[in-house]
Amino acid sequence: MKNSQKGFIGKLVLIIIAILIIGGLFLYYQNNNQSKVNNNVVDNFLSKCGFKVTSITPNEKVNFPLIVKGVIDNSNAKTLGCSWQMFEGEAGVAQLYFNNNQSWNPIGVGVPINVADWMTTSTTFSVLLNFNNDGIGLSTGTLMKITFTEENPSGQGITDSIDLPIIFGNISSVSENAVYENKLNGFSFSYPSKFSLADNETILNQPWEYNTTDTGNLIARVVIPRTIQPKTNFGEAYFDVGVSTSTDSIKNCLISSGVNTTDVSSISINDQSFEVFHYNDAGAGNFYDVTSYHTVKNGKCFVLESFVHSSNIGNYSPDQGIKEFDKILVNNILKNIVESFQFLN
């Protein structure tokens, strides 16, 4: 009788072990089948090597356009054993993926991670992500991820990256953007339809280019009102397109005025080369930040300008509750408009 009990108990133990093994294998398969992304999570937020996303938690359901915000703090790099690299205003790129049959598929190209001040140990970042779902057809609940890859200007050593798993919720329709087309001067650009646009008939008396005495015409202006960032020191911002056919303007089109110029570079926008000049100005407690894109096309000097006006945060007392405005967000809106500019022929 005792031998029978021992045999029964032994079989029962084997059955329990088998159930645990099968259960463990099932959970392992289920997790892989859902293609979960494992990362470092601190206080429910994604974090690695000083890079921390603070606006979205892992596996959160999100809608697009999506703005991802966070901080980069390298003050604890020695303890962590790593840091997150930044260079010339960027901290790497953010790449969107969606999951299809256990495979990660990229959406478009990586978007630069713009930082407020890359020369400091601690700073903030913001990334605006969006895509056209018409050609993909993602349904609500689709598993996605954002891969953040740090800047590596030297191309040497190990480049850190981190994945933020998200769930697709919805996307604003294309109608959220309006398109302005000027056939007379042969160009077009898109802009958020919630912002107002003025054409050359209503802005005739406005300067066509920052700090110039040459003659020209301001053709179009998109105004970003201060209401998009209430209770901040944000004043206004706008995107301008100016055109001149004067001999002097065309001759000096690709030359900086030299007044308050802080940076000069060259870029290509939709296969058209532009010279880029950055200006800073201040006065009476106000700051003016101007980025000017110049090119010559069809015998005309074209100038695209993004203008940001803000006030000195020190002008306000603490009891007013005025906060520093999100400069990265405003610059991203203007940058998207600039990058949509294209010539019709």
Domain membership of residue 103 (yes or no) is yes
**Which of 120, 149, 171 lies at the terminal end of a domain, its last residue?**
171
Q: Is the pLDDT of residue 341 over 50?
A: yes
Banded model confidence at residue 29, pLDDT cuts 50, 70, 90: very low
Domain membership of residue 34 (yes or no) is no
Please tell me whether residues 123 and 187 are part of one structural domain.
no
Q: What CATH number is associated with residue 57?
A: 2.60.40
Please tell me whether residues 128 and 263 are part of one structural domain.
no
Q: Which pLDDT belongs to residue 37?
A: 39
Banded model confidence at residue 149, pLDDT cuts 50, 70, 90: very high
Q: Which pLDDT belongs to residue 194?
A: 82
Q: What is the DSSP letter of 160?
A: P
Q: Is the pLDDT of residue 302 over 90?
A: yes
Residue range 179-231, pLDDT digits in tens: 899 989 999 999 988 888 887 655 656 789 988 888 899 999 999 988 888 88
Average pLDDT, stretch 333-337?
92
Domain membership of residue 275 (yes or no) is yes
Helix (H) or strand (E) holding 287: strand 286-297
Q: How many domains does the chain contain in total? A: 2
Please tell me whether residues 185 and 315 are part of one structural domain.
yes
Please tell me whether residues 252 and 284 are part of one structural domain.
yes
Using CB atoms within 10 Å of the CB of residue 260, give its burial: 0 to 12 exposed, 13 to 18 middle, 19+ buried. middle
Map tokens 């015409």 to a residue. 217
**Which of 146, 171, 196 lies at the terminal end of a domain, its last residue?**
171
Please tell me whether residues 186 and 282 are part of one structural domain.
yes
Q: Is the pLDDT of residue 34 over 80?
A: no
Q: Is the pLDDT of residue 26 over 80?
A: no
Q: Which pLDDT belongs to residue 9?
A: 63
User: What CA–CA distance (Å, rounded) separates 96 from 131?
Assistant: 9
Banded model confidence at residue 162, pLDDT cuts 50, 70, 90: very high
Banded model confidence at residue 174, pLDDT cuts 50, 70, 90: very low
Residue range 273-293, pLDDT digits in tens: 999 999 998 888 899 999 999
Contact assessment for residue 45 and residue 57, using Cβ atoms and an 8 Å cutoff: yes
User: What CA–CA distance (Å, rounded) separates 198 from 218?
Assistant: 10
Please tell me whether residues 136 and 231 are part of one structural domain.
no
Domain containing 72: what range?
41-171
Task: Identify the residue with better confidence: 225 or 167.
Answer: 167
**What Å distances lie between residue 201 and 188, 205, 336, CA to CA?**
17, 10, 25
Q: How far apart are the first and last CA of the chain?
A: 97
Please tell me whether residues 117 and 189 are part of one structural domain.
no
Domain membership of residue 27 (yes or no) is no
Q: Which pLDDT belongs to residue 158?
A: 84
Q: Which pLDDT belongs to residue 62?
A: 93
Domain membership of residue 1 (yes or no) is no
Residue range 231-246, pLDDT digits in tens: 899 999 999 999 999 9
Domain membership of residue 24 (yes or no) is no
In 3D space, the residue among 119, 120, 129, 148 whose CA is nearest the CA of residue 53 turns out to be 148
Q: Which pLDDT belongs to residue 30?
A: 46
Average pLDDT, stretch 102-124?
89
Banded model confidence at residue 122, pLDDT cuts 50, 70, 90: very high
**Which of 137, 171, 205 lies at the terminal end of a domain, its last residue?**
171
Q: Is the pLDDT of residue 327 over 70?
A: yes
Task: Identify the residue with better confidence: 285 or 17.
Answer: 285
Residue percentage of the chain with pLDDT more than 90? 51
Domain membership of residue 32 (yes or no) is no
Residue range 41-94, pLDDT digits in tens: 656 788 999 999 999 999 999 998 888 989 999 999 999 999 999 998 889 999
Domain membership of residue 23 (yes or no) is no
Please tell me whether residues 155 and 185 are part of one structural domain.
no
Using CB atoms within 10 Å of the CB of residue 153, give its burial: 0 to 12 exposed, 13 to 18 middle, 19+ buried. exposed
Please tell me whether residues 183 and 275 are part of one structural domain.
yes
Q: What CATH number is associated with residue 264?
A: 3.40.1000.10
Please tell me whether residues 275 and 186 are part of one structural domain.
yes
Average pLDDT, stretch 117-145?
88
Please tell me whether residues 224 and 257 are part of one structural domain.
yes
Using CB atoms within 10 Å of the CB of residue 188, give its burial: 0 to 12 exposed, 13 to 18 middle, 19+ buried. middle
Q: Which pLDDT belongs to residue 329?
A: 87
Please tell me whether residues 262 and 276 are part of one structural domain.
yes
Q: Is the pLDDT of residue 345 over 80?
A: no
